[in-house]
Structure 1
Amino acid sequence: MLVCGLLSSCAPSATEPGIAADTAGPLSRAQAESLVEEPLADLATSVSERADEYAQLSEDGAATVQRTEAGCEYVSTVYHSTLPVDGEGWGALADAVRPQMEAWAMDTGALDREERATGAGLRGTNPHNGAALSVQTWNDHLGVDLDGPTEGLEMAVRVPLAQSECD
């Protein structure tokens, strides 16, 4: 029993969202913010601690509402890292984001695919409300096009919003 307790205390944790992860969408902006923002901030900290040689994520853009072809969506606070990521790094990042994706009721099947290291990144979507986490390559800080290894990451969550939120 003691060993089990010790193991679970070392296991990566997740922050429960402010609303039930299985809340049906489309969501209001307030619901989307409650679902995403606190857990995402905690995830950025957790990833930076657990995969520190591949990511030191910092806040780099406030949450917004953007128009889409289907209506509009909530785009969370954006987090960036400028550290290089290799194939091993993508595995470490996948392990670091998995618990939070599960807390958000997102599919985690893409975390184990090899193509994540070739630009597909880490992605998952909640089937109930469409919230989608994306951890992908980000090289904008370099100022030049890069043909080779990733030199940075971008992490954000997008959530489809109710039509009334688009006005």
Structure 2
Amino acid sequence: MDHSMSSKSKKSKKTVKNVLPDLIIPCLALIFTIYYLTTITEAPWIAQASAIVVGSLLLLLIGFFFIKTFFMVRNGIEDISFSNIHIEKPLLFKRLILLFLTLCFTFFLEFLGFTLSAIIFLFFAIILLSSINNWKNALIISISCSLIGYFIFIYLFNTQFPRGPFENFIEKIQDGK
């Protein structure tokens, strides 16, 4: 009886997933969102409105994630611990590449503008997280999402995102030049 109990507890310990690494991005997103929402007071009202909508949605999703994680930890399905962090090398490598892509996105944003930077970032991020076999889908998704982002934030709300060749080209077409 005691032997079966110890083997049962060993099995349950093996199935507990440490979610500490999964909390890094939501925590950083929470900090950034709070910072962003508290610093947009000087922006035009339409930029404030769009920031509040997007920020509120992000806070809502982060809240859902934290609540789900809380219940999973409370039920013993997941764990938050520094002692048993085990990140597989391929996963760590992907995370580091994603961090590098994010840094490249922020660096090239000033030169390429929002739309082209977003297309390139999303394309390579999707390829990284899925596979090179999905390059057509990655291209369609990255172009679609970037154009939707352009239309909503730059065209409709006139948000002051960095303008690049694409945004300048569209502006010239609109001005009739």
TM-score (norm 2): 0.27
Q: 1 or 2, which has the higher helix percentage?
A: 2
| Rg (Cα) greater in structure | 2
Higher relative CO (CA 8 A, sep ≥ 6), structure 1 or 2? 1
TM-score under structure 1 length normalisation: 0.28
